[in-house]
Structure 1
C-alpha cells in the first residue's frame, strides 16, 4: 500500500535548515531619489568634503576583521544566534533617545563640552558609533536654520549640505547593516539602529509639512523604514533561494525546493516572532514585514514554476504545498497562527492557476487509476487462465483483486483529499465512474472464464474465490465512501450478477444429479415419497462439503438457493397432472406425505445454514389445499396462499386442483376466480412460482 509522506517533516534524521535568520552579505547601497541628488551636488564641493567610507558598516574596536571572517563562514544555526540575547538590554544614561520629542537636535544638554565637529562625527560613524546619530540630525537642522536666516552664500550652503548628506549615507549604511543582520548585533546596538530609523520617520513627517528652503537640495523623505523593508525582502530571497544543506536522495528538484523553502520560512518566522518582535518598535510591524517578504518570494517562485509543464508528481506536490502544507503547517502552525491571523497573506498561486493545476491533477490521477485497475484485473484473469490455485485465508478461498482495486481507489482519494476536501469530492465522482466500468469489465471477464475454462483443475476454486471477493467491494464503498444504498446497489449490480452466475455454475452439476431423483415422484405415482426424498437429501448432503471454502455469508446464501430448488422441484412434480386422486382418503394421505416431506426439507436446509424462512409455507399450504374438501374453505386457503406468494397464478392453481379428482368443473372455476381479487402485497415478491412453468 502506498503511504502518504508529509514532505514538510522531511526524512528521518534530516537536520533542520541551518543559519535561521543568519542574514549574509553586505547591505545594499539602495538610496532614495533625494539622496542620489544630494550625492550629485556633493561632487561640486571641495576636496575636503566628507564622502562615504569604503569600510561602511565596520564594527568598532577592530570588528572589521571579525566581520570579514563571519562572511566566509557558514551560518551556524539558531543556537549560536540566540546567545546574543542572554544579556538584558542596558541603555547609557548619557545617550539621548532620538525618537523622544523633547530631544533638541541642536545640542545635547547631557553632554559636556562643545559639540563634535563634522570630522569627529564622521570618524565616530565609521567606527560604528550610532549614538552620534543625534549630531547628524542637529547638523541638518542647523543647516536649514542657516539657509532660512540668509547671509550665507549658496555655494557655502551646498558645500555644507554635501557634508551632512555624506554623514547621512554613512549613518544609513551603518543602521541598515545592523538591521539586515539583527540577531548578530548586540541588543543595545540593535536598539540604537531602530531608534535612528524611528527618528528619521518622524523627521520625514516633519519635513512634509515644513516650508522648503529653495537653496538646499530636497533630501526628504529619506524613507529609511521602506529601505529596511526592502532589505528584508532581499534577505527573504537569499534565505529561500539558498541551497539546502542536506539534499535527500529519491526526491525531485521541485520537491527538495518546496521542502527547503517551506521549512526555512516557518523557522525564520518563528524566530522573528520569538526574538525580533519584542525588540522592534510597533511601527516597524516586524512580523508582518518578514511574513509578507517571505510569502511574496515563495509565491513568485511557485508562479514561475507553474508556467512550465510539470510532471505528474510535481503537479501534485505543487498543489499539496499551495493548498495544504503552506496554509496549514506554516501559516496556521501553533507558533505563527495567532501572529499571522490578521495579515491576510493569501494564496501562493492565483485561483485561476490553482483550478488549472487541479484539473491537470484530476485528469492524471483518473488516468492512472484506470490503468492500475485494468492491470490488476488482467493479472487476476491470467492466474485463472494458468489454472493457478487461489490462496486460502481463514479456511476460505481468497483473491487479492478486491483488495488491490479498493487500495488503488482509496489511495487516489486520499491524495486528492490531502489537497483539499473539495478536490476530494471532485475525484470521488470520477473514481466511481471508473469503478463502475471496472466492475462491468470484471463481470464480463469472469463470465468468459466460466464459459471457456470448465476443464481446469482449479475451476471451482477460482469461482469460489471470486464470489468471496464481493463483500470487500461492498463494505469499502459503504463504509469508507458512504454511498447511498440505492446508488450503491446500482454500482454493485455487476458483482451481484457475478455472484449469481458463480452460484449457478457451482450448483449446476448438483441440480443435474437431483433431476432424475425428483422424477421418481411422478414415475412411482407418489407411491414412495418418503424414500425418494431421503435419496434427494442424501445426495445434497454428500455434495455440500464442496462449498465449505465459501465465506459463511455465501454458504448461507448458497444453501438458500438449494432450499429454493428443492421446494421448486417438489412443486413442479406436483404440477405434472399425472396424479389424480378421487377419494378424500387418498387426498389426505398425499397431504400428509407432503407435510412430512416439507418438514424434512425445511429441517435439513435450516440446519445447513438456510435462512429462507419465506419458503416454509410453500409446501404445507399446498398440502392444506389438497386436504380440504369444502370449496369455500379451499377458496380461503387459496386467497391466503396468494398473499404469501403473489406469483402463484391460475395456471399453477389449476395444476394443483387437478390432483383433486372429486371437484366439479364449476367448483374448480369458482376457486380459480378467487385469484382475480386484488390482494395487498406486504413485501416485495420473491420469485418462486414464476420459476415454475405449467403446461
Structure 2
C-alpha cells in the first residue's frame, strides 16, 4: 500500500508545475520510502531472514553513497543504516555461535541465511575497494574473517568444556578421562558438521575441512599441553596407545609422509632446517618405525653427498630423542620391542659417529705419527695436533648440544687410543731417568691439554695417561709394579702385550727386572679381577711386534 501511495504521489506531481508541489513530492518520497524499508528490514530480522535483511541494507547504502549525494545531507538516514547494520551483525553472530547445536529447521534455515549474508557483505567490501570514494564508517565489514574467529572460539570452548564427559573415575586418571571426553566431543561435533552444518554452506567455503582443521589444531594443542606436564608412566602409555588405537590408519600414512618428505629434501640437495644453530629434523617427533629410518640413514651415509654430514648431524639428534622414549625406566614398550629398538638406535649412532669422525682422523694422522718419537718431546709438535683437533671440533658442530658432546667425547676417546698406541710403539728410547722424567711431564701435560680442549667429563681418559706417565717417571721396581697394578685394576683389558710395550719404554730396566715386574703384575691382576662392570680401553689399543709396521686403528681408516 505504501508503494501504491507513492506512485499516486508521483502521478500528481507530474501534473503540477509549481515549485512547492515538487518540494512536497520529494519529501513524501523520502519519508515513505524510509518508513517502508525500515518496516521490511525489521520483519526480515524477526524472521531470521538475514540474507534478505543484508540485501536491504546494501540497497540503502548504495542509494545514500552511490546513486545520490544524500549521505552528507541526510545524517539521520546514515546513522539509521549504521544502527541496522549493528543489529543485523549481532543476530548473525548469535546464530553462528549455535552452529553446532542447531535443534530446529528454523535455526538451520537461519544459519543458511546468515552464511549468504556474510558472502553478500564480503562482495560489498570488494566493490568498495574498486570505487574511488570514501566508504561509510562500517566498511570494510570483514565478516568472513570474523566468521572464522567466531567458529574458532566456538571450537575452543567446546573442547575446553566437553558436553559429554565419560570415564571411570575409579580406574581412570583425570588425564585419561579428560582425553576421552575431548575425543568424544570432537567426534560428535564433526559428525554434526557433516550431517547438518555442511548443508548450510556453499561448497567453495569448504566448511568441513575448516572445522576439521580447527578441531585438529585445538585437540593437538590440548594434548601437547597435557604432555608438557610431568606425567607418570601410566598416563604416558595411555597417550601413546590412544593415538595408535584411534588414528592407526592415519598414523601410518603420516609416518610414511614424514619420512618421504625427509627423503625428498635429501634427494633435492636441501640442507636440513636449523633450530638454535643446530641441524634439526622433525622425524623424531613422528616416525615410530625406526627400521625404515635406519635404512634412510644408511643411504645418506652410503651416497656421501655434500649435504650428508648435515643430515647425519640432524639424525643424531633424532636418535637421541628415540632413545629417550625407548629407555627401560619409562616402561612404554614390551621388553623385546624396546631391546630391538635400542639395538637399531645404537647401530645408527655408531655409524653416524664413524662417518663423521673418520675424516677427522685422516686429517690428524700426520700428527699422531709424531707421538712416541724424538720430535714428540718438543712442545710445538703436540701443539699442532691440538690446533688441528680444535679446528675439526668446530666442523663437527651442528647437532643438538647433548649429541655433540657425546660425539666429541667419542673423538676424545679415539684420540687418546691413538696417542697410547703410538706411545707404546716404542720408537723413542728413554735410556735414563732424565729422559723418562721429561717423558712423564710431556704425557702429563698432553693429558691435561686434551682434557681442556674437549671439555668433556671423561676424567678417566686423562687418568689413563696420568697413570702411564707415572710408570715412566718411577724408578723403584715395587713402585712401578703397584702403578701398573693400579692401571690394570681400573682397566682389566690391559693385556700382557700392553705391559711389555709399556716396560720397553724404560730402556734402563734390565730384562730380568722387566720379567719380574710383568710376572708380579699379572699374578696380582689375575687374583684381583672380579666380574664387576668396569671400563674398557686397552682392547682398542693395538700393540704390534716391532718387526711389523704399526697399523692405524679402524677409526682412522
TM-score by length of 2: 0.52
Deviates more, 1:613-622 or 1:486-495: 486-495
* Deviations, residues 407-446 of structure 1 (Å, cap 9, x unaligned): xxxxxxxxxxxxxxxxxxxxxxxxxxxx4xx212211321
User: Residue 341 of structure 2 aligns with which residue?
Assistant: 491
Could you tell me how far 1:390 is from its partner in structure 2? 0.7
User: Residue 390 of structure 2 aligns with which residue?
Assistant: 541
Q: How does 1:268-287 map to 2 (within 5 A)?
A: none
2:300 is aligned, of 415, 437, 449, to 449
User: Residue 240 of structure 1 aligns with which residue?
Assistant: none
Could you tell me how far 1:505 is from its partner in structure 2? 1.5
- Secondary structure of residue in 2 paired with 1:678: helix
Could you tell me how far 1:574 is from its partner in structure 2? 0.9
Q: Is the 8 A contact 2:496 2:518 kept in 1?
A: yes
The alignment of Structure 1 onto Structure 2 pairs a total of residues equal to: 321
Could you tell me how far 1:543 is from its partner in structure 2? 2.3
2:360 is aligned, of 493, 506, 510, to 510
Could you tell me how far 1:618 is from its partner in structure 2? 0.8
Partners of 1:511 and 1:626 in 2: CA distance: 27
User: Residue 631 of structure 1 aligns with which residue?
Assistant: 477
Q: Is the 8 A contact 2:300 2:312 kept in 1?
A: no
Bigger radius of gyration, 1 or 2? 1
Q: Provide closer, same or farther for how the CA distance between residues 612 and 461 of structure 1 changes in structure 2, counting only shifts above 3 A.
A: same
Partners of 1:666 and 1:527 in 2: CA distance: 29
Partners of 1:560 and 1:661 in 2: CA distance: 34
Could you tell me how far 1:404 is from its partner in structure 2? 2.2
Structure 1's unaligned 5+ residue stretches are 1-10, 20-72, 75-243, 257-360, 406-434
Structure 2's unaligned 5+ residue stretches are 1-96, 108-187, 200-242, 545-557
1:250 aligns with 2:97: no
Partners of 2:258 and 2:375 in 1: CA distance: 55
Q: Is the 8 A contact 2:326 2:342 kept in 1?
A: no
1:14 is aligned, of 95, 100, 121, to 100
Partners of 1:12 and 1:404 in 2: CA distance: 36
1:645 aligns with 2:527: no
User: Residue 514 of structure 2 aligns with which residue?
Assistant: 668
Could you tell me how far 1:527 is from its partner in structure 2? 5.1
Partners of 1:568 and 1:597 in 2: CA distance: 13
Q: Is the 8 A contact 2:279 2:310 kept in 1?
A: yes
User: Residue 286 of structure 2 aligns with which residue?
Assistant: 404
1:564 aligns with 2:405: no
User: Residue 684 of structure 1 aligns with which residue?
Assistant: 533
Partners of 1:532 and 1:641 in 2: CA distance: 27
Higher relative contact order (CA 8 A, sep 6+): 1
Could you tell me how far 1:592 is from its partner in structure 2? 1.7
Q: How does 1:175-574 map to 2 (within 5 A)?
A: 248-250=192-194, 369-405=251-287, 435=288, 438-452=289-303, 454-456=304-306, 458-477=307-326, 482-483=331-332, 488=338, 490-522=340-372, 524-526=373-375, 528-574=377-423
Q: Provide closer, same or farther for how the CA distance between residues 481 and 518 of structure 1 changes in structure 2, counting only shifts above 3 A.
A: closer
Could you tell me how far 1:687 is from its partner in structure 2? 3.5
Q: Provide closer, same or farther for how the CA distance between residues 252 and 570 of structure 1 changes in structure 2, counting only shifts above 3 A.
A: farther
* Deviations, residues 331-359 of structure 1 (Å, cap 9, x unaligned): xxxxxxxxxxxxxxxxxxxxxxxxxxxxx
User: Residue 238 of structure 1 aligns with which residue?
Assistant: none
Q: Is the 8 A contact 2:471 2:480 kept in 1?
A: yes
- Secondary structure of residue in 1 paired with 2:527: coil
Q: Is the 8 A contact 1:387 1:459 kept in 2?
A: no
Could you tell me how far 1:694 is from its partner in structure 2? 0.7
Q: Is the 8 A contact 1:581 1:662 kept in 2?
A: yes
Deviates more, 1:495-504 or 1:621-630: 495-504
TM-score by length of 1: 0.42
Q: Cα RMSD (Å) of the superposition?
A: 3.6
